[in-house]
Every structure is written in C-alpha cells, then in structure tokens.
Structure 1
Amino acid sequence: MKVLAVTGYKPQEMGIFKQDAEEITYIKKTLEAKLQGFLAEDLEWVVVSGQPGVEQWAAEVVLDMKAEWPWLRLAVLPPFLHQDKIWPEHAQEQYQRILQMADYSEAISNKEYENPGQLRAKNDFIVMKTEALLLLYTEEQEGTPKYYLQAANRKAESHEYPIYRITPDDLQETVEEIGIRKHNDFE
C-alpha cells in the first residue's frame, strides 16, 4: 500500500478542549506506531483533509516522521476553499502551518462552503484516491468519522480497500507504554 487516508474524531468529539491536552500525546504516539508499520509495507503518501483533531495530529506526525523517512509525503485535500475560517484561531494556525509544509495541497471543490454535499464528496474523493483507510473511531462513540467509514465501506464492497482502526485498546496500550517508560526513567 502506497497511499493511506487517515481520519478520526475532532477534538470536541473526544472531550479534548485544550491544545496541550495529554491525550493528544497518546493519540499522536499511537498514530506514529501505526504509520511506522505501514512504512514497512511501502507507504509513500498519507492523505488528510486537514480537519482539527486526528487529521491535523496525523499530519503533524507525518511531518515529524519525514526526518527519519524522507520519502514519506503528506497530501492535504480540504473539501472546499477556506475550510478553516470558522475554526478557533489555534486550529486555523495549526492548519496553515500544515498546509505550508505539506508536499501537496489542493481543495477538492474550488468554491467555499455551500452545502453538506461537499463533505460527502470529500470523503468519497479521498477514499477513491487512496488504497486504505486508518481511522480512530468506534461505533460505540458516534461522531463525524462515521461518514468517512461509510464511504470506505462502499468502496470495500467492490474493491480491495482495507480499513484499519485505532481502537481504545490501542490508545490504552500507548498510555501504559509511556507510563512504563516514564517510571523507568524516574528510577
């Protein structure tokens, strides 16, 4: 697999309201571990739409990983122009930094927001252009990633399209690993 879409919850869907919340560290470490596994399978591109939360954190992880894996590339495909104009200032700044550092960025629709159909078109387009999906989402905690998952499931019905998940167990494992490392460093 050379091209992977990554998505997941927005911060508020996970109860994260601070940009320096400890949970973000665990999510980013888990994303990094998953992406490292995909690098062994010839991963070249990670594609996100750039929304706050898992997508922006994944983009930051990819940009950090480029130091060790310079062939890894980031594409940001927002659903429409100026998607960030209603976001909080810190999310806008983070998004603009990611756009500047991305290897490729282009809005799927060359218009500003008009209707929710643009969001569905974004999900379908990104799924169509990628070979697999990695998402942080569980059906037990509904949220916006369910629409991405629906697009992925539609593609998987007629094509090989693996859907990889980051589960609560994956995140808990990361929390425990970091806790053990901190404990060992403290001794």
Structure 2
Amino acid sequence: MKVLTVTGYKSMELGIFKEDDHKITFIKSAIKKKLLNFADEGLEWVLISGQMGVEMWTGQVVLELKETHDIKIGIIPPFEKQESRWPEPIQQAYQELVMAADFHQFLHKGEYKGAFQFKAKNDWFVDKSDACLILLDDEFPGSNRFFYEKAKQARNYPIYLITPTDLDDAVEELRMADPDYWS
C-alpha cells in the first residue's frame, strides 16, 4: 500500500470542543501507531479532506512523522472555505496544516453547494487510495459512516479501523510510559 485515506469523527462528535483536550493525545497516539506500521511497510502518502477532528489530527501526526519517515500528506477538501464556520483556533490550525502539506487542492471550485460534494469526496478518496484507516465505533456511527459505507462497497479496498479498544490501549500505553505511573 502506497496511498492511505484516513478519516473518522469530527471533534464535536467525540465531545471534544477545545484543541487542548487531553483526549486528542490518546487519539493521536492511536493514529501514530497505525501509521508507523504502514510506513514501515512502504506507505508514501496519507490523504485527508482536512475536516476538523480525526483528519486534522492525522495531518498533524503525519507532519511529526515526516521528521523520521519518508511520508507525505495530501489535503483535498471537498470545496473551498470548508473551515469558514469553524472556531477561530481550529481555522488557524487548519491553515497551518494546509501550508505544511505536500499537496493541497480543492475537489470542487467554489464554496459549499450541496451534499453531492461530500458524496463526490468519498468517491474520489476511495478511487485514489489503496486502502483507508477509519476511527470508528460501530455502535455509534457518526458522519464517517458515509465514507465507511462507500469503502465497503469498493472491491479489493482494505479497510483498517481504529476502534474504542485501540483507544483504550493508547491510553494505557501512555499512562505506563509516564514515570510517575510507576512511583
């Protein structure tokens, strides 16, 4: 696999409303663990649409991994100014991520015109990547369920998941890595 699409919940679907929420550390850790495994197997590109939440955190993780791995990040938003209604700190983090990306291009010129743009985005990402990684809890699907359904319809398209169990493991690993945990 050379190209991986990553998606998941938006931050508010996870009950995260601030960029300094400690839960983000655990989610990023789980994403990083999966991406490191894929990078060791030859992953070259990570593709995201740049939506707030899992996708932006993935972009930040990839930027961190670029220091030690030959991996690139591509951001392909479904339309221009997708971040215009987001809180200011998240807009700023998005702009910083876009500026550091290896590739950035809008799927549709112009601003939001309709739900068809999201469907076209899902189609494009499945078509342009070799596999996907989705943070997903089957019991509580969010907006990521639309991409997940599209990915399941594709032939020979591997779907990798970050599950609640993976997040629990990330929490435990980070706790155990803290020297204060052992004292």
Same fold flag (TM > 0.5): yes
Corresponding letter in the other structure for 1:166: I
Matched position secondary structure for 1:119: helix
Unaligned segments of structure 1, at least 5 residues: none
Task: Provide the rounded CA distance (Å) in 2 between the counterparts of 1:18 and 1:111.
Answer: 29
Structure 1 residue 141 and structure 2 residue 137: aligned? no
Deviates more, 1:176-185 or 1:21-30: 176-185
Task: Within 5 Å, give how 1:80-119 maps onto structure 2.
Answer: 80-119=79-118
Corresponding letter in the other structure for 1:177: E
Q: Which residue of 2 aligns with 1:50?
A: 50
Structure 1 residue 177 and structure 2 residue 176: aligned? no
Task: Provide the rounded CA distance (Å) in 2 between the counterparts of 1:39 and 1:142.
Answer: 28
Corresponding letter in the other structure for 2:136: Y
Task: Provide the rounded CA distance (Å) in 2 between the counterparts of 1:91 and 1:169.
Answer: 27
Task: Provide the rounded CA distance (Å) in 1 between the counterparts of 2:136 and 2:76.
Answer: 20
TM-score, scaled relative to structure 1: 0.95
Deviates more, 1:139-148 or 1:55-64: 139-148
Q: Which residue of 1 aligns with 2:16?
A: 16
> 1:185: how far off?
6.5
Instruction: Deviation per CA, 1:17-75: give whole Å up to 9, x if none.
Output: 12111110000011000000001211000000000000000000000110001x20000
Corresponding letter in the other structure for 1:145: N
Task: Provide the rounded CA distance (Å) in 2 between the counterparts of 1:29 and 1:103.
Answer: 22
Task: Provide the rounded CA distance (Å) in 1 between the counterparts of 2:22 and 2:146.
Answer: 27
Task: Provide the rounded CA distance (Å) in 1 between the counterparts of 2:182 and 2:20.
Answer: 23
Q: Which residue of 2 aligns with 1:164?
A: 160
Structure 1 residue 68 and structure 2 residue 64: aligned? no
> 1:127: how far off?
1.0
> 1:164: how far off?
0.2
> 1:182: how far off?
1.2
Kept after mapping to 1: 8 A contact 2:49/2:78? yes
Kept after mapping to 1: 8 A contact 2:175/2:181? no
Structure 1 residue 150 and structure 2 residue 149: aligned? yes
Corresponding letter in the other structure for 2:64: D
Instruction: Deviation per CA, 1:104-157: give whole Å up to 9, x if none.
Output: 0000001210001101111110111000000001221120000110111121xx
Corresponding letter in the other structure for 1:178: L
Task: Provide the rounded CA distance (Å) in 2 between the counterparts of 1:32 and 1:165.
Answer: 13
> 1:166: how far off?
0.2
> 1:78: how far off?
0.1
Matched position secondary structure for 1:5: strand
Corresponding letter in the other structure for 1:175: V
TM-score, scaled relative to structure 2: 0.97
Q: Which residue of 2 aligns with 1:132?
A: 131
> 1:163: how far off?
0.2
| CA-based RMSD | 1.1
**Quick one: percent identity of the two aligned structures?**
42
Task: Provide the rounded CA distance (Å) in 2 between the counterparts of 1:179 and 1:92.
Answer: 31
